[in-house]
Amino acid sequence: MGKRDDWIAKYAEDLKGKCNMTPDMDLLTKVTIGCGPSIYNADASTVAGSQTAELETVKNNFLIKKLGLADGPELMEAINSVIEVYGKSERNKYRAVVYYMLTKHFGKEAIYG
């Protein structure tokens, strides 16, 4: 097992334990690969849920550019609901887990097909 597999296992653990979700391992793997080398960088691998600029980045770079969604208030509402499910007090909100939950929320799994 490589380093990426270790991270995917950690993300699956977070989805099960902290988010009460059963992960689709195939989709989680594809979302993780889509995050690229950022998963190995301590700062880039997590989402700062309390920083507005960080949430705007998630909205613009992931929801609009990657998933192809139109900008609107529902995007930030979805991000906030994912942060809520992950746990506002949870210090390490992994980017791949947040992206996975947003992909599921908007039913955009086909993008990773």
Q: List own/partner pairs for 39-44 with CB under 8 A and 24 or more apart.
A: 39/4, 39/7, 39/94, 39/95, 39/96, 40/3, 40/7, 44/95
Q: Which residues pair with residue 94 across a beta bridge?
A: 46
Domain 3-112: what homologous superfamily? Jann4075-like (1.10.238.120)
pLDDT score recorded for residue 85: 97
pLDDT digits (tens, 9 = 90+) for 70-88: 999 999 999 999 999 999 8
pTM of the predicted structure, to 2 decimals: 0.96
